[in-house]
DNA sequence: ATCGGAAGCT
DNA sequence: AGCTTCCGAT
C-alpha cells in the first residue's frame, strides 16, 4: 500500500518520454499483461544511459574494451533506475543483484578485479540471428552467376523482439566502435515512417534491389522493415513498403522467390561472411541492378550512388558477372569486400569501396590478413545460445 | 565489493 | 520472466 502511494508520487517519467529522442520503440517493452511487464529491462536501461552523453559522469563505456562499461556512480545509477521503475528504495545493492541475474543469461558478465565494471556479451547480442536479407532464387540464366538475391525476411522461428534487440545492440556497439556517442537510435520498424534518417548511411551503404530500402554493411544497419514469418506475400510487402514486390531481375512475383530461412537458429559470422561474399557484387558502387523496379540505385537519402566511370568498363563487368570472371580476381574482390565490411564494422574505413582508386588491386597480404582476422573474431566471439 | 540463495511481487 | 528485497558468505 505504501508502495502504491509512492508509485503515484514518485515522479517517475513515462517511459516513452524518457530522454527525448532516445525512447525505445515498442518492442523494447513487453506487452502489458503477459508475460513479464511493460517495464523497460535493466540492460536496455543501462545501454540507454551509456548512449547518452549527459550520463557520462555516472556510467560510461570503458575505453578499449568492447562492451565493457564502468558504473562511476553506483548509487546514482541505482537512483535513476529506481526512478524509472518507480522503485524509490532502489539502491546499488539491489541493482547489482539484478545485474548478477544477467550472468547466467549471458547478457552480462563481471570484469573481475575492476570495481563496478561489467561487460556486455555483445557477441551473443550481435551476431546471433543476424537478420537475413537474402532470398535465394534460381539463378536467372543470363543475369547473375550467383544465386543470391536480396530481400528483407525474418528468419523463421526467430522472435521479432530478439532480432530487433540484436540490431539495437549492434548499433550501439557500432557507435561505440566508431566513437560516436549520444544521438538517438534511428530505427524504424514500422514501415510507416518516411522520415529521413538522422544519421548518414554507413560507408559503402549501397541500396539493394530488395524493394524495401537499403541493405547496409555489417555494423551499419539502418531503418528497415520487418516482415514477420509467414507474411511475405505480395500484399503485405506492398502494404509495408509501398512498393510492388519485384525481384531485381524483373522476374515477377514472390512465387518465384524462395525464402532463405536459415532455420530457426543461428547465422554464424562465418556464414555471414559467406553471404557477404556471395552478394558482394551487388554492393559495389555503380553496380546497379538491371531490371530493378525501383530504378536507379539509391541510398536512404535518395541520393544516387556513385557510378563507375564509363571507362572502367572492365571493372564494371567483373562486378556484374562474377561467374565469368577469372576466379582469382573474383576471389580477391570478394575478400576485399569482406575486408571492407570488417573495416566498416570497426569504423576505420573512411572511404567505402572505391574501385577506381584502390581496391581491386590492393595487396593480397592486406585482404588476406583482414579475412583471417575476421575469421578469428568469428571463432572467438560467436556463441551458440543455450 | 561481489556473489548467489531464497522468497516475494507483478 | 524479470526483477526486488533481504541477507549470509567470501
How does pLDDT run across A97-149, given as a tens digit for each residue?
999 999 999 899 999 999 999 999 876 654 333 332 222 222 222 122 222 22
More confident residue, A314 or A374: A374
User: Is the CB atom of residue A15 positioned under 7 angstroms from any atom of strand C?
Assistant: no
pLDDT of amino acid A104: 94
Of all protein residues, which has its CA closest to the C1' atom of C7? Answer: A93
More confident residue, A118 or A264: A118
User: Is the CB atom of residue A112 positioned under 7 angstroms from any atom of strand B?
Assistant: yes
pLDDT of amino acid A34: 41
Burial A170-195 (b: 16+ CB within 10 A, else e): bbbbbbbbbeeeeeebbbbbebeeee
Q: What is the mean pLDDT of residues A231-236?
A: 39
User: Is the CB atom of residue A43 positioned under 7 angstroms from any atom of strand C?
Assistant: yes
Flag whether pLDDT at A32 surpasses 70: no
Q: What is the pLDDT of residues A328-368, one digit of tens each?
A: 454 445 545 544 544 444 333 333 333 333 332 232 333 33
pLDDT of amino acid A51: 86
Q: What is the mean pLDDT of residues A240-252?
A: 33
Q: Predicted confidence band at A1 (pLDDT cuts at 50, 70, 90)?
A: low
pLDDT of amino acid A123: 62
* Nearest-angstrom CA–CA distance, A239 and A338: 34
User: Is the CB atom of residue A119 positioned under 7 angstroms from any atom of strand B?
Assistant: no
Helical pair A364-381 and A327-345, crossing angle rounded to 10 deg: 60
pLDDT of amino acid A54: 95
Spatial contact of A239 and A194, defined as CB atoms under 8 Å apart: no
- Chain C footprint bases within 7 A of protein beta carbons: 1-7
Q: Predicted confidence band at A41 (pLDDT cuts at 50, 70, 90)?
A: very high
Q: Provide the CA A342 distance to its chain's centre, in angstroms.
A: 14
What's the Å distance between residue A167 CA and nucleotide B5 C1'?
35
Using alpha carbons, select from A118, A147, A119, A149 the residue that is nearest to residue A132: A149
Flag whether pLDDT at A92 surpasses 80: yes
Weakest mean pLDDT among A31-45, A128-142, A267-281 = A128-142
Name the nucleotide with the smallest C1'–CA separation from A34.
C1
User: For chain A, what is the mean pLDDT?
Assistant: 47
More confident residue, A326 or A104: A104
Q: Predicted confidence band at A39 (pLDDT cuts at 50, 70, 90)?
A: confident
Q: What is the pLDDT of residues A276-286, one digit of tens each?
A: 444 433 332 22
Q: What is the mean pLDDT of residues A171-176?
A: 48
Amino acid at each position: 500500500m505504501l508502495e502504491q502511494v509512492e508509485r503515484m508520487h514518485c515522479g517517475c517519467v513515462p517511459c516513452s518520454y524518457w530522454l527525448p529522442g532516445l525512447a525505445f520503440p515498442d518492442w523494447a517493452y513487453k506487452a502489458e499483461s503477459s508475460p513479464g511487464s511493460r517495464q523497460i529491462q535493466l540492460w536496455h536501461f543501462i545501454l540507454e544511459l551509456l548512449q547518452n552523453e549527459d550520463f557520462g559522469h555516472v556510467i560510461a563505456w570503458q575505453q578499449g574494451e568492447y562492451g565493457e562499461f564502468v558504473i562511476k556512480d553506483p548509487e546514482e545509477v541505482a537512483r535513476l533506475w529506481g526512478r524509472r521503475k518507480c522503485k524509490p528504495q532502489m539502491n546499488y545493492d539491489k541493482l547489482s543483484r539484478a545485474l548478477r541475474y544477467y550472468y547466467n543469461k549471458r547478457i552480462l558478465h563481471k570484469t573481475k578485479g575492476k570495481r563496478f565494471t561489467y561487460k556486455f556479451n555483445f557477441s551473443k547480442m550481435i551476431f546471433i540471428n543476424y537478420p537475413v536479407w537474402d532470398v535465394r532464387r534460381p539463378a536467372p540464366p543470363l543475369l547473375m552467376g550467383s544465386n543470391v538475391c536480396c530481400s528483407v525476411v525474418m528468419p523463421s522461428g526467430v522472435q521479432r523482439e530478439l532480432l530487433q534487440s540484436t540490431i539495437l545492440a549492434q548499433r550501439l556497439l557500432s557507435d561505440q566502435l566508431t566513437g560516436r556517442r549520444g544521438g538517438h537510435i534511428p530505427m524504424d520498424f514500422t514501415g510507416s515512417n518516411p522520415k529521413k534518417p538522422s544519421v548518414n548511411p554507413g560507408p559503402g551503404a549501397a541500396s539493394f534491389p530488395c524493394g524495401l530500402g537499403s541493405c547496409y554493411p555489417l555494423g551499419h544497419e539502418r531503418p528497415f522493415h520487418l516482415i514477420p514469418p509467414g507474411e511475405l506475400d505480395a500484399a503485405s510487402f506492398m502494404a509495408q513498403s509501398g512498393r510492388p514486390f519485384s525481384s531485381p531481375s524483373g522476374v515477377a512475383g514472390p512465387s518465384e522467390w524462395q525464402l532463405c530461412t536459415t532455420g530457426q537458429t543461428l547465422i554464424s559470422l562465418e556464414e555471414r561472411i559467406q553471404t557477404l561474399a556471395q552478394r558482394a557484387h551487388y554492393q559495389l558502387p555503380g553496380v546497379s541492378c538491371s531490371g530493378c523496379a525501383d530504378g536507379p540505385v539509391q541510398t536512404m537519402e535518395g541520393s544516387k550512388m556513385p557510378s563507375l566511370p564509363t571507362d572502367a568498363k572492365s571493372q564494371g563487368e567483373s562486378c556484374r558477372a562474377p561467374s565469368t570472371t577469372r576466379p582469382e580476381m573474383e576471389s580477391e574482390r570478394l575478400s576485399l569486400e569482406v575486408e571492407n565490411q570488417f573495416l566498416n564494422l570497426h569504423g576505420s574505413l573512411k572511404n567505402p569501396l572505391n574501385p577506381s582508386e584502390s581496391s581491386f588491386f590492393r595487396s593480397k597480404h592486406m585482404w588476406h590478413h583482414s579475412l583471417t582476422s575476421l575469421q578469428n573474431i568469428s571463432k572467438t566471439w560467436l556463441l551458440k545460445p543455450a
